[in-house]
């Protein structure tokens, strides 16, 4: 894995900027620092991944590169990148992306950002969530089946207990006579 990835190279990193309007006036503001990266996890959730080891560090260092390399290796990818471009540059394994997402051309840099993820981000998130939804439904089904089994077991136990108590009472009655 190429640790010195171009998506998080500390030497060329500069804070992202945003345009805001103050009293109708347009201003460009730098974000205070980047302490985490918004990433998509294998289940299709948007997650904030901390990339600095201390709050005092505002510029990502080598640790950030290592974290990114590990996460990319596990199939995570930043929301503000084109995952297909990452795959084609060898930073993301091809198995990490669905076949339907792997087909086609990577997006032009600048055509997407953190607010407006590229179409491959949207497609991959949908696939992952769908896949995860199926897994979750199966798990819920298994839990339900187990719950029913447990209920049956409890009912059987309850009946046995009742029987034992009834017999016990009968026995006592006999003794009393």
Which residues sit at the interface with Zn ion, rule CB under 5 A? Answer: 82, 84, 107, 118, 120
The CA distance from 28 to 25, in Å, is 10
Minimum CB separation of residue 152 from Zn ion in Å reads 51
CB of 84 or CB of 97, closer to Zn ion: 84
Which tokens belong to 52?
Answer: 């600095």
E strands in the chain: 17-22, 25-30, 36-40, 46-50, 77-78
Read off φ and ψ for residue 17, nearest 5 degrees. Answer: -115, 160
Pick the closer one to Zn ion by CB: 6 or 62.
6
60 vs 117, which CB is nearer to Zn ion?
A: 117
Supply the minimum distance, in Å, between the C-beta of residue 92 and Zn ion.
Answer: 12
Report the nearest approach of Zn ion to the CB of residue 62 (Å). Answer: 27
- C-alpha angle 144-145-151 in degrees, rounded to nearest 5: 85
């Amino acid at each position: 894995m190429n640790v010195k990835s171009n998506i998080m190279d500390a030497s060329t990193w500069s804070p992202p900027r945003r345009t805001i309007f103050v009293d109708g006036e347009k201003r460009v503001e730098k974000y205070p620092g980047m302490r985490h990266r918004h990433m998509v996890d294998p289940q299709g959730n948007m997650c904030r991944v901390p990339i600095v080891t201390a709050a005092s560090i505002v510029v990502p260092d080598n640790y950030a590169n290592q974290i990114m390399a590990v996460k990319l290796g596990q199939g995570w990818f930043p929301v503000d990148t084109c995952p297909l471009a990452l795959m084609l540059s060898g930073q993301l394994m091809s198995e990490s992306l669905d076949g339907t997402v792997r087909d086609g051309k990577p997006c032009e840099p600048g055509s997407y950002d953190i607010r407006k993820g590229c179409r491959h981000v949207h497609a991959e998130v949908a696939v992952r969530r769908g896949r995860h939804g199926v897994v979750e439904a199966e798990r819920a089904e298994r839990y339900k089946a187990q719950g029913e089994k447990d209920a049956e077991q409890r009912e059987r136990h309850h009946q046995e207990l009742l029987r034992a108590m009834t017999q016990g009472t009968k026995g006592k009655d006999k003794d009393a006579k």
